Structure 1
Amino acid sequence: MADEVGLNSLTLAALAERLGVKQPSLYKHLDSLADLHRSVSMLAKRELGEAIARAAVGRSGPDAIFAMSHAYRNWAILHPGRYGVSQKPAAPGDVEDEASMMTAIQTIADVLTAYHLDGDDSVDAIRAFRSLLHGFISLETSGGFALQADIDRSFDRLIQGFTVALNQWAEPFDHAESRN
């Protein structure tokens, strides 16, 4: 239902109507609207993580990066209402919500080991990967690609560029120098 109407329009009244029950009966399963939204968010994070984990199985290097990227993009396009909330951080101290995103993060980190990345280099690469995917998907789903060119080709070129960059990611990097 979140994919149909968007999370902001997903209310307890709308859910009760969809389920054919009275709204008060939902409180046997949910504490509040915020609890419903949190549950949808955690489900979305787990599903997205499982999608990219399935795509990465048995693959490594650029093949795994491409497979994860396509799985991520396909999931986001098929689940527009849940995709947005899959990107929201957990509330401070919400261990259960933090854990819901770990399959995705750990899968990406595992794939990046083929590029000999660890520590801050790995964190930087994970952030870059998620950022480029989210940016592309956000533009695509909002109609931001109006130029007459194949969007799939553009996506593949973006991912190809990222894999090329990953081959040089572990080289020494002077953070202070890059800000001047």
Structure 2
Amino acid sequence: MARAGVTVERLAVAAAELADEVGFEKVTVAMLARRFGVRDASLYSHVKNAHDLRVRVALLALAELADRVATALAGRAGKDALVAFANAHRDYALRHPGRYTAAQLDLDDDTMATSAAVRHSEMTRALLRGYHLPEPAQTDAIRLLHSTFHGYVTLESTGRFRHTPRTPDASWSATLDALDALLTHWPHAGQPT
């Protein structure tokens, strides 16, 4: 690519594409400069450093994932919403492994507060309202869902399920059934906080 047209947005998209190809942790400013056919130094007028580039990829990934989840959730409630929500996460993680890893980047509080992470939180809480979960059960359920989805897709994407006779899809479906049952019958009263 020619030097003309290099923008922060194009750099973030190109870095996200590289992350999916080689892994998020392997993306460097030098690698990105080679993709654009420019010297490393010329990119520093667009990004401060490698960390700034990583944050931009994380923000891009969070926004893409939020858009996909919002589309999947539209008009759904209860178990149907849970399944759509979960499948949107799983599909994104498997199709875009580098971007998914980027979305897990620990962002500072100010960046997090202005990112699509806020939309993720709002959508998760909206999903859980269908299960009538009050606080603090809602926060606990959000942590459970994130841990389950993240753990599952991380194990699946690294091939950990290939040595078993049951397909990952079958286990995923059973996991979602179990989560729905748990959310439907969440323990509320008398539970220690």
The answer for the alignment partner of 1:138 in structure 2 is 154
Matched, 1:147 2:164: yes
Other-structure match for 1:36 = 53
Mapped partners of 2:83, 2:98: distance in 1 = 24
- 1:44-123 equivalent positions in 2, closer than 5 A: 44-91=61-108, 93=109, 95-100=110-115, 101-123=117-139
Q: 1: distance between equivalents of 2:105 and 2:41?
A: 28
When the two structures are superposed, what TM-score results if normalisation uses the length of structure 2?
A: 0.85
Q: Does the CA-based 8 Å contact 2:55-2:105 persist in structure 1?
A: no
Identity of aligned residues (%): 34
> Which secondary structure does the structure 2 equivalent of 1:69 belong to?
helix
Shift of 1:81: 0.8
Q: TM-score, normalised by structure 1?
A: 0.91
CA RMSD of aligned residues (A): 1.4
Contact 1:90/1:98 (8 A) holds in 2: no
Structure 1 segments unaligned to the other structure (5+ residues): none
CA distance in 1, matches of 2:185, 2:104: 27
For 2:38 and 2:190, locate their aligned partners in 1 and report how far apart those are by CA, in whole Å.
58
Structure 1 or 2: more helix by fraction:
1
**CA deviation profile, 1:112-139 (whole Å, cap 9, x unmatched):** 1011113211111111111110111111
Contact (CA 8 Å) 1:51, 1:71: kept in 2 or not?
Answer: yes
Q: What residue identity is the alignment partner of 1:50?
A: D
Taking the aligned partners of 2:81 and 2:178, their CA distance within structure 1 comes to 14
Change (3 A) 1:127 1:173: farther
Take 1:164 and 1:113, find their aligned partners in 2: how far apart are those partners?
15
SS in 2 for 1:16: helix
SS of corresponding position for 2:130: helix
